[in-house]
Amino acid sequence: MLSKAQIKYIRSLTQQKYRKEHHVFIAEGDKISREWLKSSARVLHIIALEEWIGDNVGLIARHSEAQVSTVEEQVLSSVSLLQTANKVLLLVEMPEHKEVLPDSGWSLGLDNIQDPGNMGTIIRIADWFGIQNIICSPNCVDVYNPKVVQAAMGSHLRISFFETDLQEFIESGNIPVFAATLSGKSIYDYQPMKEGILLIGNESKGLSPELVERASHQITIPRRGGADSLNAAVSTGIICSHIVAI
């Protein structure tokens, strides 16, 4: 059972300031929870229906650090962020913040990505293509926003996240920088490469002019139809499939 104070605390984690204050985020749902419990992540609290706990005794046993609370459906619904509450919700400790920015391999540089669904999908795409580093500008949506975690489906476990000024980051490196724009060179003119930084901009405004100016390459996905733009996450997936060496 959960106390009123615990319910209030869990609900507070929907806000970024409290996630940062407590260094804790929410992972919710059967598949996502299993992913986190299979990992070495520090799980602080497992809140689940009795049936789910009974079916996952082995996974739960891997996390002796976690408090386990068996709850009824209505209690789980009271703290759930989903339209229909799933069977389980985890409170997970955020990993230690990494200070040293990557200087090799592939990285995604995200400029002012605001939509949690886009951010979560981009994280999942990075995981699919083996891109281990995502560098976010300070005005991006929080990567531990519950909707981002939900959309990423466990891919947080295999990605390192950084937050910094993207302009300073690309100026400090010496690997190719590819800015996704509407007027760049076709991605089909490039061969897959072993390293680089792919810059993806805001859903409606694109990349800032300062970042585009400093990129070593401006690239685009050739358009045949009449749509005036592509979703940021869709663009990321298409570009990665052509220029990131697998």
User: Can you tell me whether residue 198 is helix, strand or coil?
Assistant: strand
Tokens encoding 13: 């984690």
Sign of CA dihedral 73, 70, 20, 40: negative
Q: How far apart are CA 240 and CA 137, in angstroms?
A: 20
Are 161 and 136 contacting, i.e. CB atoms less than 8 angstroms apart? Answer: yes
pLDDT beneath 70, residues of the chain: none
Q: How far apart are CA 124 and CA 35, in angstroms?
A: 13
Tokens encoding 50: 């009795």
According to the model, what pLDDT value does residue 207 have? 96
According to the model, what pLDDT value does residue 96 have? 85
Q: What is the DSSP letter of 183?
A: E
Q: How far apart are CA 184 and CA 167, in angstroms?
A: 19
What is the end-to-end Cα distance of the chain in Å, rounded? 47
CA atoms within 13 A on the CB side of 69: 21
Which residues does residue 226 pair with via DSSP β-bridges, in sequence order? none
Q: Closest Cα partner for 154 from 13, 29, 59?
A: 29
Alpha helices in the chain (DSSP H): 4-12, 16-22, 30-38, 50-55, 57-61, 73-79, 116-128, 146-152, 166-172, 209-214, 232-243
Q: How far apart are CA 207 and CA 167, in angstroms?
A: 11
Q: What is the DSSP letter of 143?
A: T
According to the model, what pLDDT value does residue 177 have? 98
pTM, to two decimals: 0.95
According to the model, what pLDDT value does residue 246 have? 76
Q: What angle do CA 134, 15, 127 make, to 5 degrees?
A: 25
